[in-house]
């Protein structure tokens, strides 16, 4: 299923269906004209683009992952001295692009081979590891993007807001993490708290555009969503968005829309879209268990596999 968050430009199905019913001679003529047009365009088109040029080459170990952010390549690899108290230590290395010049390497805590979780903020990058033990923890390390100096480490994942200076903590920020009853924001320069809010039931938090954050409390706590100033914590909008007894299952932001998946006490599932500034309901639909496994925003569309469908 593809859900359009704006205008629907899908051509009418009937028009496509009618094409297959046209007389064979007309289809043959049309195909011949199309082939001739393609040959003409190809012959008169611009010269082919130059082949790709190799600018840098790296030999990566087996347990390695990497990500490109802007003009930087970040590579995550297990530290060679992982033993004893440093058993959870991995290294994040930064390289300049396109030259491939090494810039720095910084340690961070992780004990699992994983996709590297790196976020860019103002003057720094945040890397989040995955550490096992009695439970799963997700420590986040802030690294100076110019020097590689470790600035601070917090024991949980920090999501970077769009101002680049603030992070939010708490709730369901990674798959498998239980939602807590409190959320908070931190100053990314220091790692210190800016504000904290406590709720009557499990609550998730997500940064949204224009310097805001949205919290969603499970149905046991009223099923309310709040839009807050991400820097001060001031409540800008508040509204009940979940049915009684329902809890959020998935969430994502697509432009200025918050997409929220939920499940109620009967096992019924739904998904709804809200404006991230006012929490105005834009649309809602009931889904079955196999409809939505994850949200993948693509421009102004939100898609799910299986049946083709278009919805505003």
pLDDT in tens, 224-278: 899 999 999 999 999 988 777 777 777 788 888 888 888 877 777 888 899 999 9
SS3 content of the chain, % helix, strand, coil (to 5): 10, 45, 45
Number of domains within the chain: 1
Evaluate the omega torsion of the peptide bond into residue 98 and state whether it is cis, within 30 degrees of 0: yes
Residue 169 belongs to a domain:
no
Residue 19 belongs to a domain:
no
Asked if pLDDT for residue 117 goes beyond 50, the answer is yes
pLDDT grade for 133, boundaries at 50, 70 and 90: confident
Give the predicted TM-score (pTM) of the model. 0.72
- CATH number of 97's domain: 2.40.10.480
Structural domain of 82: 66-157
Residue 152 belongs to a domain:
yes
The sign one gets for the Cα dihedral 168, 170, 171, 177 is positive
Residue 150 belongs to a domain:
yes
Asked if pLDDT for residue 206 goes beyond 80, the answer is yes
Residue 86 belongs to a domain:
yes
Asked if pLDDT for residue 90 goes beyond 80, the answer is yes
Q: Rounded to whole angstroms, what are the CA distances from 82 to 154, 189, 231?
A: 21, 29, 38
Residue 263 belongs to a domain:
no
Q: What is the CA radius of gyration of the chain?
A: 25
Concatenated DSSP letters of 3-69: EESS---PPPHHHHHHHTTS-HHHHHHHHHHHHHHHHHHHHHSPPPPPPP---------SSEEEEEE
Phi, psi dihedral angles at 27 (to 5 degrees): -65, -40
pLDDT grade for 20, boundaries at 50, 70 and 90: very low
Residue 148 belongs to a domain:
yes
- pLDDT tens digits, one per residue of 208-219: 999 999 998 877
Residue 301 belongs to a domain:
no
Asked if pLDDT for residue 221 goes beyond 80, the answer is no
Q: What is the DSSP letter of 289?
A: T
């Amino acid at each position: 299923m593809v859900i359009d968050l704006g205008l629907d430009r899908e051509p009418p199905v009937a028009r496509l269906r009618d094409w297959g019913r046209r007389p064979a001679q007309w289809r043959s003529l049309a195909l011949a004209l199309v082939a001739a047009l393609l040959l003409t365009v190809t012959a008169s088109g611009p010269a082919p683009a130059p082949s790709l040029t190799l600018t840098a080459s790296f030999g990566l170990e087996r347990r390695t992952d990497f990500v490109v952010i802007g003009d930087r390549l970040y590579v995550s690899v297990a530290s060679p001295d992982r033993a004893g108290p440093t058993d959870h230590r991995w290294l994040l290395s930064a390289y300049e692009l396109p030259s491939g010049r090494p810039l720095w390497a910084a340690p961070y805590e992780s004990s699992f081979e994983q996709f590297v979780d790196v976020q860019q903020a103002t003057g720094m990058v945040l890397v989040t590891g995955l550490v096992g033990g009695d439970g799963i923890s997700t420590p986040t390390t802030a690294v100076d993007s110019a020097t590689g100096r470790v600035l601070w480490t917090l024991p949980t994942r920090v999501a970077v807001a769009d101002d680049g200076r603030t992070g939010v903590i708490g709730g369901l920020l990674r798959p498998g993490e239980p939602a807590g009853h409190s959320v908070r924001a931190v100053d990314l320069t220091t790692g210190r708290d800016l504000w904290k809010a406590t709720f009557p039931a499990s609550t998730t938090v997500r940064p949204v555009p224009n310097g805001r954050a949205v919290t969603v409390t499970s149905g046991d706590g009223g099923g309310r969503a709040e839009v807050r100033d991400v820097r001060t914590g001031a409540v800008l909008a508040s509204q009940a968005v979940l049915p009684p007894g329902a809890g959020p299952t998935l969430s994502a932001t697509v432009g200025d829309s918050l997409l929220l998946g939920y499940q109620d006490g009967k096992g019924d599932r739904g998904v709804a879209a809200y404006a991230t500034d006012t929490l105005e309901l834009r649309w809602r639909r009931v889904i079955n268990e196999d409809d939505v496994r994850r949200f993948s925003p693509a421009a102004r569309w939100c898609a799910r596999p299986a049946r083709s469908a278009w919805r505003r």
